[in-house]
């Protein structure tokens, strides 16, 4: 197909898609649908006739319509932002718990040190537990 025929077919395909009367495609306002409607390969639009691709998207936006690919990306972005907000809140909650646990460990360490340094303090016997969970000396 000649260069001029490609451009003619692409413009006709643009008109059909924008009018909502596709013949060869699913009617979506995307480069893939435009290429299918014009009966050309996608790379013809994205490499050889970039001006027509840009013109197509400009006309889509001028009609106040959003291309399907952009609509899907916006929906995915919205979900991602919501998930990010959830994870940030979870992180804050966990950080607060970590700080609380650190304070508890610090207090217990100080109390343990004070108890061990009291006069007359006897060391507690070491109790060993076997892997089976039974008590030493118990049968």
Q: Kindly report, residue by residue over 93-113, the tens digit of the pLDDT.
A: 999 999 999 999 999 999 999
Count of CB atoms situated within 10 Å of the CB of 29: 23
Contacts (Cβ under 8 Å, ≥6 apart) of 52 = 7, 10, 11, 14, 45
Cα within 13 Å of Cα(113), Cβ side: 6
Mean pLDDT of the chain: 87
Task: Give the span between the Cα atoms of 81 and 135, in whole angstroms.
Answer: 53
Task: List, for residues 27-72, the tens digit of each pLDDT value.
Answer: 888 899 999 999 999 999 889 999 999 999 899 888 887 767 777 8
Task: Give the span between the Cα atoms of 33 and 69, in whole angstroms.
Answer: 11
Is pLDDT of 135 > 60? no
Instruction: Tell which wins on pLDDT, 6 or 67.
Output: 6
3-state helix, strand, coil split of the chain in percent (to 5) is 70, 0, 30
The pLDDT, as a whole number, for residue 14 is 93
pTM check: above 0.95: no
Assess contact for 42 and 32: CB atoms under 8 A. yes
Report DSSP letters for 108-135, one per residue: HHHHHHHHHTSTTPPPPPP----TT-PP
Task: pLDDT band for 131, please (50, 70, 90 cuts).
Answer: low
Q: Average of pLDDT values for 83-95?
A: 97
DSSP classification of residue 22: -
């Amino acid at each position: 197909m000649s260069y001029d025929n490609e451009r003619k077919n692409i413009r006709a395909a643009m008109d059909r898609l924008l009018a909502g009367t596709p013949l060869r495609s699913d009617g979506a306002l995307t480069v893939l649908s435009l290429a299918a409607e014009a009966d050309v390969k996608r790379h013809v639009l994205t490499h050889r006739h970039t001006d027509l691709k840009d013109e197509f998207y400009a006309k889509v936006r001028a009609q106040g319509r959003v291309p399907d690919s952009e609509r899907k990306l916006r929906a995915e972005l919205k979900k991602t932002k919501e998930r990010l907000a959830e994870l940030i809140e979870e992180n804050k909650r966990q950080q607060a718990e970590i700080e609380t646990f650190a304070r508890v460990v610090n207090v217990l360490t100080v109390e343990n040190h004070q108890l061990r340094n009291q006069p007359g303090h006897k060391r507690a016997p070491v109790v060993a537990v076997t892997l089976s969970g039974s008590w030493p000396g118990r049968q």
